[in-house]
Amino acid sequence: MTFQNTLEFAQQLDAQDDLKDYRNEFIFPQHNGKEVIYFTGNSLGLQPKRTKKYVDDVMNDWANLAVEGHFYSEKPWWDYHERFANPLSKLVGAKPSEITVMNTLTVNLHLLMVSFYRPTKTRYKIICEEKAFPSDQYMFQSQVDFHSRNFGINKEDAIVEIKRREGEHNIRLEDILAKINEVGDELALVLIGGVNYYTGQVFDMKAITEVGHKAGAVVGFDLAHAAGNIKLELHDWNVDFAAWCSYKYMNSGPGNASGCFIHEKHHQADLPRFAGWWGHNKERRFKMEPTFDPVHGADGWQISNLPILSLAPYLASVELFAEVGMDKLIQKRNQITAYLEFVLREIDKEIDGTEFEIITPTNQEERACQLSVLLHGQGRSLFDYLMKNGVITDWREPNVIRFAPAPFYCSYEDMYNFGQILKQGILKG
């Protein structure tokens, strides 16, 4: 398709958009009486309008049934989490038994590492990507420190970062695979983000998993920026484990519950885990038996009974995804992100001199719903201008702005209007 940087063309794309009506399913902040242009679904998704009913249902059941809501509410709290298994399994390419929801993302990654990071004195290294999200970096550091204190591993070289080549913004797949082979027999775990939060680069998880397994390592992924954003086939890729937050592209609300994937090949394995009451045999849970008998499947990694008031917004959003399906979302994601890229490049042409550089890969297979823009002729003041003029976006030091046109609620007209505001901001800067 040949794009045009005009309001009429953007409106024409909106008229042809099969998902255009879903924009009305979300609540937008207002700026000067108009809906903002919202580019931060990669940080916190907008609130679906149906969320309030889901939360109100739980509140009403609590008010009217109290403790009996566990068993007698319309959606009993006892098995509330089980409603996620089927829709989430379709979103991430898994079997329902491989999916659970619990806790929050970094908590779940720590818990999963109890089972899947089992270092020895000779095989103890973790491979991750350079500039991983800080929570992952802190998690790796604390895990290695814990094991070095208790099992005598060398913590000085335990974390191996795959770096970008000099002058490049993204990590080459060939360098990831080469590093896995280089570390070889010393490698215990490969754990990287499925989508890099800073650049928006999508990694080839299938290839990484295959090579990691050949090296004798366990392979897992932090899918914070991938779940609800890219096509995932976790089961078929033979990924060992994964976890994701639900409040970015999945619109479940700030700091909300995390999803987990644990491949079925591990369900019968004698893996260590931190056990709790809610992971115990469901049919015998209230017998209060002294010995832990885990639920078969990913639910056997649960610890505490679930926070239903947190799960309610998540369920509202998951059902939106079930209505639409990832294929349609990805189709619009690809086109609206391409149109945003076109608008950015057109504005850059209209300005005297190169003002910014898109550091997200141009290859559609290596990117999803985010364009990270490195500012050259501008600084924080341009970000501030955008925010003051109704464009909600995200600043990352030292001088990168991230734009994520989430396909559920962003419009092509948003992309055009943003370009005009961006141009004004550069000219006034």
Q: Is residue 152 a part of any domain in this protein?
A: yes
Q: Is residue 178 a part of any domain in this protein?
A: yes
Given 272, 296, 324, the domain boundary residue is 324
Q: How far apart are CA 78 and CA 308, in angstroms?
A: 9
**Residue bearing the bigger pLDDT, 264 or 353:** 264
Whether residues 22 and 135 fall in one domain: no
Whether residues 204 and 342 fall in one domain: no
pLDDT at residue 236, as a whole number:
98
Whether residues 229 and 255 fall in one domain: yes
Domain of 159, CATH number, reads: 3.40.640.10
Other beta carbons within 10 angstroms of residue 335's beta carbon come to 18
Closest CA to 401 of 28, 31, 44, 42: 42
pLDDT (average), residues 411-428: 95
| Average pLDDT score, the chain | 95
Whether residues 231 and 365 fall in one domain: no
pLDDT (average), residues 220-245: 98
Q: pLDDT at residue 301 above 80?
A: yes
- pLDDT over 90, % of the chain: 87
pLDDT digits (tens, 9 = 90+) for 127-177: 999 888 888 999 999 999 998 877 778 888 999 999 999 999 999 999 999
Q: Are strands 391-392 and 187-193 parallel, antiparallel or unpaired?
A: unpaired
Whether residues 290 and 412 fall in one domain: no
Domain that holds residue 385: 7-35+325-428
Handedness of CA 145, 151, 157, 159 (dihedral sign): negative
pLDDT at residue 325, as a whole number:
96
Whether residues 186 and 103 fall in one domain: yes
pLDDT digits (tens, 9 = 90+) for 342-375: 999 999 888 876 678 999 999 999 999 999 999 8
Q: How far apart are CA 285 and CA 381, in angstroms?
A: 57
pLDDT at residue 355, as a whole number:
74
Whether residues 300 and 156 fall in one domain: yes
Given 291, 306, 324, the domain boundary residue is 324
Q: Is residue 47 a part of any domain in this protein?
A: no
Given 299, 324, 349, the domain boundary residue is 324
Q: Is residue 1 a part of any domain in this protein?
A: no
Whether residues 293 and 331 fall in one domain: no
Q: Is residue 45 a part of any domain in this protein?
A: no
pLDDT at residue 181, as a whole number:
98
Whether residues 177 and 217 fall in one domain: yes
pLDDT band at 298 (very low <50, low <70, confident <90, very high): very high
Whether residues 389 and 417 fall in one domain: yes
Q: Is residue 2 a part of any domain in this protein?
A: no
Whether residues 168 and 301 fall in one domain: yes
Q: Is residue 49 a part of any domain in this protein?
A: no
Question: How many domains in the chain?
Answer: 2
Q: Is 288 exposed, middle or buried (0-12, 13-18, 19+ CB in 10 A)?
A: exposed
Whether residues 22 and 69 fall in one domain: no
pLDDT at residue 379, as a whole number:
79
Q: How far apart are CA 117 and CA 272, in angstroms?
A: 10
Q: Is residue 41 a part of any domain in this protein?
A: no
- Return all residues near 287 (Cβ < 8 A) that are at least 6 apart: none
Domain of 14, CATH number, reads: 3.90.1150.10
